[in-house]
Amino acid sequence: MKRRTFLEQSALAGAGLMLASHSALFSQSKKIHSMSNNIPSKGYAAKDASGKLSPWQFERRPVGDNDILIDIKYASICHSDIHQMKGDWGKQQYPQVPGHEIAGIVAAVGKNVTKFKVGDRAGVGCMVDSCMTCDSCTHGEEHYCDNNATIFTYGYPDKTSPSGISQGGYSNNIVVRDHFAVRIPDHIRLEEAAPLLCAGITTYSPLVNANFNIGDKVGVAGIGGLGHLAVKLAVSKGAEVYAFTTSPDKVKDILAFGAKEAIVVDDIAKLKPYKKKLDYMISTIPAQYDVAAYASVVKPRGHYTQVGMPVGFELTLSNIGLANSRVNFNASLIGGIPETQEVVHYCADNHILPQIQIIKAEEINDAWLKVMNKEARYRYVIDAATF
């Protein structure tokens, strides 16, 4: 099916309205809207750059005409949460609630909303607003807003937020402009859908746009929350996948995900046998590493995409190393709302699911340590009922 046709059909698909059981909630939504009250919320927030989170009660903005209120059921942990809360990407305002992999149930809708009804299953990813009028925004690339008006899900200046910044999904609810929520189909569990809203779209977008052919050799560097989904997605598209990891205990899992080979790079020399072998490579490594050495495994004039975001958003590259490999190095962000909706349906339809571990809110700090120590297998998902 062509992508345009798929997107048009996906826009019409979604969960049905549960009329009887949610009539009371619908009445409540009208009351919330008409009274224009802030929405009480509770979650876990960073209070400083220590990398430690603690409970915090705060308020969301009222449900506006174009907004929906989502009762969050699950929110998963991304390495980006840790980087940003610790100030690795710049000075932060605190308290700040992280979390941009969010899945839940619509509890209220604004009067102009037609995309969702109370009771629908909905998800929120890495952004919650943009200008909605520029060329990028009107062509499904809201994350690249030409007017620099993209509001990412947490920590960004937001005049509509009572705290002055956007607050994320490690909480029991969220108010979001309806355009920036995606439908979660019935044939995927909410806890499995949540990681698709960042890890899924971040890897799916460059893989799809790489336009590799069935049977092409595709490399994935860094097999964590993003990388394990990249392996599964590339395999589903017919690629022969080579996965590069520094964790020997992940080899069995990687092969189970469908990779042809799992290469343990405990020494950079382990890359030499694969020089000029691959057609395409995606790296999810969120730290400094020898980019040129990894890029050398791609065929000359092939493409290498970096999606992992290290400290300071900066990588040190060997110019001569890249020049010698003749590989086209590029980087990718997430994906727009249409493409995010696409990956959720694609994964649900093809049973491409993240490997998850459900945790309680009180386990978040321990989970963060495990993520930093490469011990996650492979995405921690927080049960929002425990906030």
Q: What pLDDT is stored for residue 184 in this prediction?
A: 98
pLDDT band, residue 11 (cuts 50/70/90): very low
C-alpha 98/C-alpha 9 separation (Å) is: 33
Residue 5 pLDDT greater than 60, yes or no: no
Q: Considering only CA atoms, which of 239, 302, 250 is closest in space to residue 276? A: 302
Q: Considering only CA atoms, which of 244, 228, 347 is closest in space to residue 291? A: 244
Chain-centre distance for alpha carbon 47: 23
pLDDT band, residue 33 (cuts 50/70/90): very low
Higher pLDDT, residue 12 or 127: 127
Tell me the H-state helices in 194-336.
Answer: 199-209, 225-236, 251-256, 291-295, 319-325
Q: What is the DSSP string of 116-172?
A: --TT-EEEE-SEEE--S-SHHHHTT-GGG-TTS--EESSSSB-TTSTTSB---SSBS
What pLDDT, in 10s, does the model give residues 361-376?
999 999 999 999 999 9
Coil, helix or strand for 188?
coil
Q: What percent of the chain has pLDDT over 70?
A: 91
Which residues have CB under 8 Å from 209's CB, separation 6+?
332
**Quick count: other Cβ atoms within 10 Å of Cβ 25?**
17
Q: What pLDDT is stored for residue 45 in this prediction?
A: 98
- State mean pLDDT over 115-131: 98
Q: What pLDDT is stored for residue 36 in this prediction?
A: 81
Strand 278-283 relative to strand 298-306, pairing: parallel
For 101, the token pair is: 């992999």
Residue 8 pLDDT greater than 80, yes or no: no
Mean pLDDT of the chain: 92
What pLDDT, in 10s, does the model give residues 240-272?
999 999 999 999 999 999 999 999 999 999 999
